Structure 1
């Protein structure tokens, strides 16, 4: 494994080391030592200890534990040669930096170790000197190692708490932005479904009757087609204005417009009869819902499913019966079925976008229901069947 060199010292480390070196040199030349040497060692070794401690200071950020180990050995040398205040001051900073920048597991142990060493140093001094002044040695140990260690631990806790709070604030802001985007996407999808379901039927009738008016040379038939076109244009415009009014409505300004309910399915069938202009189509309703009222979201979803299914029948179905069935199934669920004749024709009577089935599936999924659409066998031959089952919870019933 290749040896990793320490990173380049930062500006603070260089400034502390330079200041400590300058101060130590001044104290040495003036002969201002803290105490006489503890061993018969030459005095110039205190300058060696000062230089080594300055080197340890340069590692305070990049390799704090290495700096602590080197600084501890250097402090022992300094005490044996007559210590300098500058060397001791830099050592306290090395202890502080080891707790602040060291690995979390080691940084948690350093204050405890400093406490133990302070107590042992006090007991040893009292046992050797047997004087009350020996307590001052224990106090010196506490100031030298325990105080900077606990100061570093306190600063580290505050720093970690601030970092955690900042990350939590960023996470909260990110989640809020994601919720906002999801809300915008959901609202746009809801607007697209409402716009498609309200206007597509009217526009399909306009397309079918305008084609008839252009292709039939009979004045009376053209007049009837233009009448239907005008009716659907007026109704479509009214629906558009209602939707725009809902979008422009300010929160709390007034009560929202009443949502369509299944009682209006007869009007949808009457509108489909006018739109198709073919006597071979037979639109019938089989309503077996019962007398128990349904929640408004269920009524709205069922109404829109019937509306879009009839619009698709007008555009694509072969001549024959178009049946709408509403029934209550097990556990109070509402079943909505719309079936129409299915055959291979020359093409749709009006263009479609394919968004109708997607919108119906989305409505059912929002209510945790079941939806399927496709060809099916019927009593009169092959059929196209749309079936949705919407769950009705008792607590939501009006």
Structure 2
């Protein structure tokens, strides 16, 4: 190890001491658990907050246990929209009345895509990229088959993502809908969403963004960017817990005409009339179908409040610092061992995670997990370092990179 490498490793303590968000880490469960020395998978499943334990216990005893069915009238019925508005204000850059919580990401993506396509019925093409998350691709393949539409594929560099030039070449007079991830799930490439919206709209299409790997880690400005629709999960950087319900955003200019295909009683106007025939509710409530998962919405509220308190710009600054430090160590310790960087090295086009490639990484990941170092593996041979800004320390990054180096050295 060179002197420069030694200095880089020693900087973790200095970076943690100077971190303005360092106190946030103490608000999460398990950060002092010796069995996990480095949790580097926050972009797959975030840690639970300590406040959520108290909130869940209070819900069980006071709200559910104490109020029983009265809870629906007193709070629960409006909770998807109440939390949706809080999320929109803290992390989406969106005005109230355009966001709701409920269903899985897959179901909401289906609802938004089908509803968007119904607004452009004369057009015949859906534009997407080949390295988008598998669910997005599979779902759009199914929709294209249902509606006899054509998929227009964008070919991207797996270590990058969809650029403005690639998108401009793909859209045209037949484009009905463009579906892209704001942060690429594999490489971490950060899309220029405002440019994507402009290009899509100039072609006469509508833009649907997948925000699963960006919400809570990078600033979003859905309203000012001109995004038409967006969907994202809440169990990554929002710490909602395994399978916590996703969120949907519908731009206000589309709400009066937007009709999603899964009609249920809670998305109907005047649902308690139990009337014959479906009439969509006014506003964002029309995205809702059946009874929402009240229990599943509890934990995310604490992280939303935390982001609102510290500010998403501070979260982004910490995210950049974490990934920059990770890349510094990767270049010094892992690249000489045959590891390749599979993410953008420019932080302005990189989200909150870094992917590195090596032919042995599938086996390496399994051995790391046994030792309490927990990154993520993504085929064909990538380790994904998901660095959640509110709960990940710089020392965890140091420990994780060293563990990868030591395993490769055998």
For the criterion TM > 0.5, the same-fold answer is no
Query: Which structure has more RCO (C-alpha within 8 Å, separation ≥ 6)?
Result: 2
TM-score interval, smaller chain: under 0.3
**Which TM-score applies when normalising by structure 2?**
0.19
Higher helix share: 1
